[in-house]
Every structure is written in structure tokens, then in C-alpha cells.
Amino acid sequence: MKQLLMVLSFLLTMSYGQAQELNCNININSEQVEGSNKSVFVTLKKSISEFVNNRKWTELTYANTERIECTMNIIVKKMDIDVFTAEVQVQSRRPVFNSSYYSTLFNFKDNYFTFKYKEFDQLEMNENTITSNLTAVLAYYAYIIIGYDMDSYSRLGGTPYFLAAETIVNSAQGADLTGWKAFESPKNRYALVNNLTDEAFKKFRSFIYDYHRLGLDEMTSNSANARGKIAEGLPLIREANRARPSAIIISSFMDAKSDELVNIFSKGNQKEKTDAVEILSDINPTQTARYEKILK
């Protein structure tokens, strides 16, 4: 625990400055909230955008063109004075080498987002104690997004950032906040980071690197070899899914990649198509009809 706190402390004490890691588009949907005064949502959007995009989250140097493209779509369900009840859909993507294509890396819907905010509040992160659920959730997803991006460029490269997210989870649990508890939901923030730091999913995380660097990034130079590299990893996903049915790390990956996988294997040979449909349908049976498009 001490080591994790040191990781988080180091990452959070990095100063604001140039070469921030994230280029995150923040959207606030307040249609379900009654009342005519919507100005608070304007300042909320501005505050969140500045907190996420202007903070230096890592010790790494990013060029402006290298910043990670991501979105946070926040749907406010209810507002009681300064208490907001909301959902947030978080997505991130990465460019594919030698193409104009962007591949979705992370796609996650968080149904347990309750926070306090007063108009013109300055969002600050207390590195030792979680006092704001809003900044805790934003920081958590910042590290998750960076972790996924790093995993796609270097094998298990996202580990330090997933550990930082785990530290936030542990601190938020101590503050008795919603969305962080172990048995609250199998698809909450705790469950996601627990999967990402679990030894049982190390092979799956390693496949994220193979999928992107050895697969997608090589498509323009040798599509057959690149597709073959992705095909080699599909049994790993099935193995992980059978070991831990309904694990959020798997369902999140499939939400992000289903259409992309259909496009990839639609161009394969007959054996690749047949094997892909069989494995993908086993992993995600509710989407069998989608995967069968590969055979057409």
C-alpha cells in the first residue's frame, strides 16, 4: 500500500505545464434536469476540461500531436442544490500507424457517478486524502486511459498508471464513496481496476499490445501477417473469459472492438473467418449475429 501511495503521490505532484497527456472532449448532458438555470453546467464543463486536459499526469513527455484522444460524456440525471447524480461514458482511441484510422481502445459506462459541485468551483486533487468524488473519478479515468494507451504501445506498459488508479480506489473506499466498493457492482470502478491489476489477466493485457502494435499498426504493410497476429490472440480472450465469466475487462474490450474485429476478419481466409466467428461468439454470445457478418 505504501508503494502505491508513493506512485500516486509522484504522479499527482507533477506540475501543470506543456505536453499534457490527454486531449479529452468533455460533454455535459443536462436534459433530464428540470429548471431554467443551466449556467452551472457550462462552468462544470469548463472546470472538468481544465482539470483533465491541463494537468500533467505522468513524467513522460508528449508532443501536442501525441496527446491521447478521449471523450467523457456525462449525463446528469438529477441535481439537488450542489449534489449531482450522473452517469459517465468514457472512451479513448489511438491512431493506427500509416493510416488515418483511429482504433477505440477503451469504452466504459459508469453508472455510479455522484458528486458535489458549486458553480465556479476550482477543481483540485488532494494527493493524500480523497475529499472530492468528482476529482477522484476524473483522475481515476485519466490514469485508466493512459494505462490502456501505454499497454497498446509497450507490453504491460500501463501497469504504473493502473496502480495509480488502484490507489485512488483504495482511498475512495476509505471515504465511503459510491462506485468504488468491492461488492457494490461487478462492473464498477473497483471491478475494472481489479481486473487490470490481476495476474490472471496478464496474458490478456499482453495481447492488447500484440493486437495494436503487431496487428493494427502492421495492417498497411502486411495485412495477412497482421490479421494472423490478432487471430493468434483470440483464444487468450476466450480463455480469460471462461476463467472469469463476465469480467468487466473482457466485456469492455468487446464493446470497444466488436465492429473492428468484424472488419478485420471479413477480409481473412475461410479458416480465419470460421475460427473468428466461433471464438467471438463463444466470448460474446449476445452478439453472434454481428460476428456472423464475417462469413458473408
Q: What does the pLDDT look like over 126-153, one tens digit per residue?
A: 766 788 999 999 999 999 999 999 999 9
Percent of the chain past pLDDT 70, that is, above it, reads 93
Task: State the average pLDDT over residues 20-48.
Answer: 92
Q: What is the DSSP letter of 18?
A: S
Round the CA-based radius of gyration of the chain to a whole number and report it. Answer: 20
Owner of C-alpha cell 441535481: 79
Q: How far apart are the first and last CA of the chain?
A: 52
How does the average pLDDT of the chain come out, rounded?
A: 91
* Whole-number pLDDT of residue 71: 98
Most confident of 11-20, 27-36, 96-105, 167-176: 96-105
Confidence of residue 5 (pLDDT cuts 50, 70, 90): very low
Is the pLDDT at 1 greater than 50, yes or no? no
Is residue 88 within 8 Å of 75, Cβ to Cβ?
Answer: yes
Instruction: Report strand pairing: 83-95 vs 68-80.
Output: antiparallel
- Quick one: which of 258, 111, 116 has its CA closest to 191? 111
Percent of the chain past pLDDT 90, that is, above it, reads 79
Is residue 105 within 8 Å of 256, Cβ to Cβ?
Answer: yes
pTM: 0.92
Task: State the average pLDDT over residues 81-89.
Answer: 95
Task: State the average pLDDT over residues 30-35.
Answer: 89
Is the pLDDT at 4 greater than 60, yes or no? no
Task: State the average pLDDT over residues 154-160.
Answer: 97
